[in-house]
Amino acid sequence: MKKRIVGTILSIIIVMELCAGCGEKDVVNQMDESMEESVQDAGSGTDSRSEQDIGSNTDKGSVEMVEYDEAQIREGYIDYSIKLLKESVTDEVNSMISPLSVMMAMDMAAAGAEDSTQEQITQMFCPEASQAQIESYLSDLMERYQANEDVKLHIANSIWINDGFAEKIKMEYLDRANQVFDATARVLPFDNAAVDEINGWVDKNTNGMITRLLDSLQPDTVLCLINATAVEAPWAEPYEDAQVWEDDFTDAAGKIQSVEMMHGTEEDYFETEDAVGFLKYYEGGEYGFLAILPKEGMTVEEYLTGMTGESYREFYNTKTGEYKVHTMMPKFTYEYELTMNDVLYTLGVKDAFDCNLADFSGIASPNEGNLYIDMVLHKTFIEVGQYETRAAAATAVTLRALSMPIEEEYREVYLNRPFIYAIIDTETGAPIFMGTLQSVQ
């Protein structure tokens, strides 16, 4: 069965539509034995900064991925993308998210989750799909997105393990993460140098568009799951110099700005009762920039209020090539970042953030301290210019371990009858004041 997917990188008024075909694929079921040895060595006191990326050179053999209904998951993904956008935007501020990046990072966590913790994450992406089907879908998606020769779309995943927790990580989880997400794993002490290394990895895998994702790591953070997604897409028909000149842009506050505006003519037009739009293709035609402009008098916020996955599909299905579409679009660039905890909670992911309810026993045994998600940090960058579009996203999911209560032998001292007391020098035990308490009243 031929498969087709629409993926999105969404901002307030733009959607990057990603389409491609694919077939079935096989993935490895066997992790290199050196991966396990490296984790154990790092966890037992070896200088972990000298360790190489674990699993990056794994021999990928043949593990058959499960079948899935591509159309069903595509519909679920679009619904999830619109919901995520609506919960993530800041009114009258340039906002941008990558549903794909968030999905990759959160699904790496879901791969080690169990029961309702896993179900809530999976159902956020597609209520009808299983975790195994979502994993197969994402594995296929990574392969075909990065196979395009005209548009550079790079997706990278990594797992960073606090060296004090390394021996407690289940090798089956790292094995699965490498098979499905092509995720490399790294063991190192979570200090300021670790923050620099992680940010360096993000910088490299976003082609310098996101240079810093993390400011710090908490001492009790045991795991950090990172996705980096970057796209560099040249226009199929770049704007000529004669098509670019200063023009007016009215911002959300009603202020008129003089900007560099790019003027062109496109083939694909969209129109519904409350919006119009156009599609400008990138080189090769498999990717495009979809602009959605609310009708005159309607703000972006008002449009988003009524926007759903279904209304997005209805808008997209109005595509017609009957007209020559005269367009103009400003050059623009900006960054956006937010902590996704509340957003994901609103979308139904609740147990994962609860230190008592979270079940990530597929990553490490609860006896080692119950794992839960502490933070989901998301950062994006976009630059739309005369010749190309550059965009990047990075998502970090950090997990902590709740210390398990230790059963200890205890004694009781209740001062509920007369007693002697002293105010002492604690270094020597020498009393400074001493007394007796015979009565409180």
Which amino acid is present at 81? S
pLDDT value of position 110: 97
How far apart are alpha carbons 394 and 392 in whole angstroms?
7
Contact 436, 419 (CB under 8 A): yes
Is pLDDT of 249 > 70? Answer: yes
pLDDT value of position 106: 98
Model pLDDT for residues 389-440, shown as the tens digit of each residue: 999 999 999 999 876 444 445 455 555 566 444 443 445 455 434 444 555 5
Task: Compute the C-alpha angle 361/102/146, nearest 5°.
Answer: 110
Which residues lie closer than 8 Å to 176 by C-beta, 6 or more apart? Answer: 111, 112
Indicate the pLDDT class of residue 8, thresholds 50, 70 and 90.
very low
Among 123, 105, 157, smallest CA distance to 341 is for 105
pLDDT value of position 245: 93
pLDDT value of position 272: 93
pLDDT value of position 42: 39
Model pLDDT for residues 136-195, shown as the tens digit of each residue: 999 999 998 899 889 899 999 999 999 989 999 999 999 999 999 999 999 999 999 999
Contact 35, 60 (CB under 8 A): no
The answer to the question of residue 306 being in a domain is no
The answer to the question of residue 425 being in a domain is no
Is pLDDT of 129 > 70? Answer: yes
Residue 103: HSE in the Cβ half-sphere, 13 Å Cα cutoff: 31
Higher pLDDT, 92 or 8: 92
Higher pLDDT, 1 or 418: 418
Is pLDDT of 213 > 70? Answer: yes
**CA distances to 101, 156, 330 from 382, in Å:** 14, 18, 13
Contact 174, 157 (CB under 8 A): no
How far apart are alpha carbons 391 and 386 in whole angstroms?
14
The answer to the question of residue 292 being in a domain is no
Beta bridge pairs of residue 435 = 421
Domain span including residue 337: 3-234+333-402
Place of tokens 């990580």: 169
Is pLDDT of 70 > 80? Answer: yes
**CA distances to 13, 84, 227, 285, 348 from 341, in Å:** 24, 12, 16, 36, 11
Is pLDDT of 15 > 60? Answer: no
Please tell me whether residue 99 adopts helix, strand or coil conformation: helix
**CA distances to 75, 135, 317, 320 from 268, in Å:** 22, 33, 11, 6
Indicate the pLDDT class of residue 13, thresholds 50, 70 and 90.
very low
Please tell me whether residue 424 adopts helix, strand or coil conformation: strand
Over range 263-281, report the average pLDDT: 90
Q: Is the dihedral of CA 49, 177, 198, 233 positive or negative?
A: positive
E runs forming strands in 295-409: 325-330, 332-339, 370-384, 388-402
Among 51, 55, 23, smallest CA distance to 36 is for 55
How far apart are alpha carbons 200 and 211 in whole angstroms?
7
Determine phi and psi for 380, rounding to 5 degrees: -135, 160
Model pLDDT for residues 78-126, shown as the tens digit of each residue: 999 999 999 998 888 889 899 999 999 999 999 999 999 999 999 999 9
pLDDT value of position 355: 92
CATH number at residue 124: 3.30.497.10
Beta bridge pairs of residue 63 = 27
Q: State both tokens at 415.
A: 């001062």
Long-range contacts of 407-414 (CB under 8 A, 24+ apart): none
Q: What is the pTM of this model?
A: 0.81
**CA distances to 406, 407, 415, 416 from 410, in Å:** 12, 9, 16, 19
Indicate the pLDDT class of residue 49, thresholds 50, 70 and 90.
very low
pLDDT value of position 196: 97
The full length of the chain comes to 441
How far apart are alpha carbons 108 and 186 in whole angstroms?
15
Higher pLDDT, 420 or 386: 386
Q: State both tokens at 194.
A: 């670790």
Among 401, 394, 405, 412, smallest CA distance to 373 is for 401
- Strands 244-250 and 256-266, by their bridges, are antiparallel
Domain count, the chain: 1
Among 16-20, 48-52, 331-335, name the one with the lowest average pLDDT. Answer: 16-20
The answer to the question of residue 179 being in a domain is yes
Higher pLDDT, 196 or 405: 196
- Strands 244-250 and 332-339, by their bridges, are unpaired
Q: Which helix (H) or strand (E) holds 26?
A: strand 26-27
The answer to the question of residue 218 being in a domain is yes
Model pLDDT for residues 357-384, shown as the tens digit of each residue: 999 999 998 776 789 999 999 999 999 8
**CA distances to 11, 17, 235, 239 from 264, in Å:** 21, 19, 12, 7
Provide, rounded to the nearest whole percent, the portion of the chain with pLDDT above 90: 57
The answer to the question of residue 217 being in a domain is yes
* Mean predicted lDDT score pLDDT of the chain: 81
The answer to the question of residue 369 being in a domain is yes
The answer to the question of residue 286 being in a domain is no
